[in-house]
Structure 1
Amino acid sequence: MNIQTHTFIDAGRWSGRAFFGGWDRTEAGTINVTDPANGTVLASVGLGGPADIARAAGEARAAQKAWAKMLGAERARILNRAADLLEANGAELALWIMKESGSIHQKAMIEIEHGALFIRHAATLATAPSGMFLPGMDDRENYARRVPHGVVGVISPFNFPLVLSVRSIAAALAVGNAVVHKPDPRTPISGGIIIARIFEEAGLPAGILQIVPGGADAGEALCSDPNVAMISFTGSARGGAKVGEIAGRNLKRVQLELGGKNALIILGDADPDVAASNAAWGAFLHQGQICMATGLVLIDEKIEQAVTDRLVAKAAHLPVGDPSSNQVALGPIISDAQVTAIQAIVDDAVAKGARLLAGGRSDGRFYPATVLSGVKPGMLAFEEEVFGPVACIVSFRSDEEAIALANRSDYGLAAGVISADIGRAMAVGEELEVGQLHINDQTVNGGPYAPFGGRGKSGNGTRVGGPADIEEFTQWQWVSVKKTATPYPF
């Protein structure tokens, strides 16, 4: 297999451009991509505006019919080839993820690994059974089949830019849709250029995948474009509400995967060392900038001190800095505005009686692992998604109180329950109003084979991944067939 391994992402091909039928300039101009750790300009990419989105959507719609008619086995072959390219060039591509999104190397490699898995899973959908015979009331033949929507618009965030883009793109392509993708303008390389390159080299026909980085105006244009039939959005609850409003007004199908205030419930019989390890991973991984991050650490008061002491010790020993050094556990926060938002939540908690046990003050973009105890309802740290490395500890006296505290949230994405008694943990978990439940694990979990999504402010009940992909990215068509046409009494 002839796969380039050192210059795969050569900027000479795409600098200042977006991916339409090929690499081309955008009408809205260009935007510089910077490293959040040090402000270094990494590259320049084409910036899409409404006119560029209109162009991309029109080209995608013109190309989609031929793609849908292609044999599923051929679509699968192209997808698997793209996964091969992602894996073969992973060492090079992971460096872009690190530089652009502030990821440590291990997290960047998780994106490469999971990204390839999502594409390979999608390839299986291309040849999956897609219909069924139906009973009828006369001698005609009735059947229902799943058909593609047409053009799917994908909007993805900065935090896991590769995975959270490719999971929707690959599934939509596999079942016969064309895709117009708008990656976050802060991570257009990891969330866009890399994906364009692997599918370009894999032999995807021109026009089927359009990738146009852009801001809110491009997103609104995508949600209202008449050539786009569905929107798949991953991002904040505020952004999702806006997307849902515009897409709904234009009668488009919409899949929303939004934020979370995810509770990890640590029951009184849990091992404090293991529990603290889970809480640290869930709260601090990728600086807490994950929708499934452990937003509340609910601990039975019988072991609260033991778990808290261990969690504080872990926080104190997690170095923060530039991921390119390969000597840190936490990288930079994505923007100065986000640092300010994190600090406001921490300061509010302390002002209202919470105790700051570790961290709590940034050094520029670098925010240390932070532990707050005594967090209570009414504090921003209890109510709001932090999107920063802050473990918010809440104590409880009974399993029923833990359930009530966890279910107070307007969000409903993920929850974890840790206990030596699986039956007890399951009983608690069954009462939690979330889209994802993890017994004896923290809240940050994901993969291609499970239906991923939430409820309430975490989403509109839709899912992406596993068996949900066919449900989301196709629709039913009823077909009835008579051997000959028959006259009617009119």
Structure 2
Amino acid sequence: MSNEGNAHVWNARIHSNGWKTARGGTAFVIEPATGERIGVIGIGSPEDIDDAASSAAQAQEAWAATPFDQRAAIMREAARLLKERAHEINEWNVRECGSTRAKAEWELHAAYEQLQMAAALPMQPDGALYPSAIAHRMNLCRHVPVGTVGVIAPWNFPILLAMRSVAPALALGNAVILKPDPQSAVAGGLLLARVFEDAGLPPGVLHVIPGGPATGDALVRHPKVGMLSFTGSTGVGRSIGEICGRMLKKVALELGGNNAIVVLDDADVEAATSSAAWGAFLHQGQICMQTGRHLVHRSIVGQYAARLAERARNLTVGDPFKQQVHLGPLINEKQRDRIDGIVQTSVDAGATLLAGGRFSGLFYEPTVLAGVTPDMAAFREEIFGPVAPVTVFDSDDEAVELVNASDYGLAAAIHTRSMSRGLALSSRIRAGMVHLNDQTVNNEFHVPFGGMGASGNGGRFGGPANVHEFTQTQWVSVMDSPIRYPF
């Protein structure tokens, strides 16, 4: 690979006050498209987390006291270096994570935008003055850093989904311990550690420690970690939320989704199926916002399903490192078998397979299922794969009922020629994000992002929402002369 000359920096190591040998051993980096070993990472142990938390607590105070313009300058330099090293980072994203080149390029640019947004945060107002009922008192409420923020990032968009927590947390004066998934630890962690290190971030402020469940559990439970930002499955998120609740620790949870696109009877079917194919098949459907349910009015469902299946059959599946493809490999065999199980179970239950439903190795064909009913696995479960289940409805009320039948509430989309009709429906849909005449996979760095219900605890990433999420509010009252009380 093009970065072999730099591999010695992170090879078999973690980043914690410099590059260190991990106490938890090592793991091979496996390329999902070929099964080849393309690197070695260090695996952090609970002891490594403990050392990092102590170091971060010591470094954070000086970092928070660093003038805002100096913190912002480091964020901007990190953004510059991210762009400068785009080829290296993108190549790892393609080979390590199975990303297509276009997806990798988009993700890096989105992470760059996150850094630029974070650079602007420290210069924003950091408090507000409130009136007082007591004469000559001034009430100041200000945002102060949490202290140390733990970030647990997933493997599907490892750079962006790490950076959207790491960058604002750092910019607002916190120290950060990032635990990337071992399946994406190079692109989503170790290369980012090098970027911040070379940008001038002081030692001890950012630690990058790849690891599995034991490493993550140690991070969640550590008493010196004041906040945990987790992106991943709802099951793990519930467990983390319970632990943080008992410890009275701040927690941000961005969890799974079973996102619906609603196609009304007046929709542009050609445009709707374009959105649907993108939302369902982008990055092999391995996205929390993936369009996992296609709810289509009965009057156009045949036309919609046929056109969507045609789009699916025209997509190329293959090794994104060696050829130009639309879909790369799934991340591992466990994911593939789970996806295929949902497809086959739904077909056995009566769904009609219009396209796909086959795989070779970790390459799964984009799949369209028609005649999917609410009792089928393809409707009930988060698929997290390149599958588009189509379900029919007869009225707007039924469409809303079907969308809200899921415990998840991350994203939704509505296609209609009437904005008033679409807006009226959006207010009835239980989802943190609703997009009219678009698809469900959307992200803008300055807009609050998050879900409801089993999809997480609200919109918290993006622009000013970051300030509230990665700080705590402190009330300071000030008087020139002390009050004399009757006691």
| TM-score in terms of structure 2 length | 0.98
Question: SS at the partner of 2:475?
Answer: strand
Would the aligned equivalents of 1:265 and 1:417 in 2 still touch at CA under 8 Å? yes
1:242, CA displacement in angstroms?
Answer: 1.3
* Counterpart in the other structure of 2:20: 24
Residue 114 (structure 2) aligned to one of 90, 104, 118 = 118
Would the aligned equivalents of 1:256 and 1:460 in 2 still touch at CA under 8 Å? yes
* Counterpart in the other structure of 2:426: 429
**Alpha-carbon distance in structure 1 between the residues aligned to 2:469 and 2:279:** 28
Residue 462 (structure 2) aligned to one of 441, 465, 488 = 465
* Counterpart in the other structure of 2:80: 84
Verify: 1:131 aligned to 2:150, yes or no: no
Verify: 1:99 aligned to 2:95, yes or no: yes
Verify: 1:300 aligned to 2:287, yes or no: no
* Counterpart in the other structure of 1:401: 398
* Counterpart in the other structure of 1:365: 362
1:487, CA displacement in angstroms?
Answer: 4.6
* Counterpart in the other structure of 1:241: 238
Residue 321 (structure 1) aligned to one of 302, 305, 318 = 318
Question: SS at the partner of 2:359?
Answer: coil
Would the aligned equivalents of 1:9 and 1:93 in 2 still touch at CA under 8 Å? no
* Counterpart in the other structure of 1:274: 271
1:327, CA displacement in angstroms?
Answer: 2.3
**Alpha-carbon distance in structure 1 between the residues aligned to 2:97 and 2:444:** 20
> Equivalences for 1:9-408 in 2 at 5 Å?
10-136=6-132, 137-408=134-405
Q: Aligned pairs, how many? A: 485
Question: SS at the partner of 1:427?
Answer: helix
Which of 40-49 and 202-211 deviates more? 40-49
Question: SS at the partner of 1:475?
Answer: strand
1:164, CA displacement in angstroms?
Answer: 0.2
Q: Per-residue displacement from partner, 1:254-300 (whole Å, max 9, x unpaired)?
A: 00000100000111111221111111000000000000000101111
Verify: 1:455 aligned to 2:455, yes or no: no
Q: Structure 1 vs Structure 2: percent identity of aligned residues?
A: 49
1:9, CA displacement in angstroms?
Answer: 7.8
Which of 253-262 and 322-331 deviates more? 322-331
Verify: 1:440 aligned to 2:437, yes or no: yes
Would the aligned equivalents of 2:296 and 2:391 in 1 still touch at CA under 8 Å? yes
**Alpha-carbon distance in structure 1 between the residues aligned to 2:174 and 2:459:** 18
Q: Unpaired segments of 5 or more residues in structure 2? A: none
**Amino acid paired to 2:126:** S
Would the aligned equivalents of 1:255 and 1:462 in 2 still touch at CA under 8 Å? no
RMSD: 1.2
Would the aligned equivalents of 1:454 and 1:463 in 2 still touch at CA under 8 Å? no
**Alpha-carbon distance in structure 2 between the residues aligned to 1:23 and 1:481:** 46
Question: SS at the partner of 2:210?
Answer: coil
1:482, CA displacement in angstroms?
Answer: 2.5
1:462, CA displacement in angstroms?
Answer: 4.7
Would the aligned equivalents of 2:158 and 2:188 in 1 still touch at CA under 8 Å? yes
Would the aligned equivalents of 2:147 and 2:226 in 1 still touch at CA under 8 Å? yes
Would the aligned equivalents of 1:153 and 1:231 in 2 still touch at CA under 8 Å? yes
Moved over 3 A (4+): 6-9, 484-490
**Alpha-carbon distance in structure 2 between the residues aligned to 1:485 and 1:269:** 69
**Alpha-carbon distance in structure 2 between the residues aligned to 1:403 and 1:9:** 55
**Alpha-carbon distance in structure 2 between the residues aligned to 1:191 and 1:8:** 17
Would the aligned equivalents of 2:150 and 2:176 in 1 still touch at CA under 8 Å? yes
**Amino acid paired to 1:321:** G
| TM-score in terms of structure 1 length | 0.97
Residue 479 (structure 1) aligned to one of 467, 476, 481 = 476
Question: SS at the partner of 2:260?
Answer: strand
Question: SS at the partner of 1:458?
Answer: coil
Q: Per-residue displacement from partner, 1:353-409 (whole Å, max 9, x unpaired)?
A: 111111112211111100001111111111110000000101111111111111111
Q: Unpaired segments of 5 or more residues in structure 1? A: 1-5
**Alpha-carbon distance in structure 2 between the residues aligned to 1:424 and 1:138:** 52
Would the aligned equivalents of 2:432 and 2:459 in 1 still touch at CA under 8 Å? no
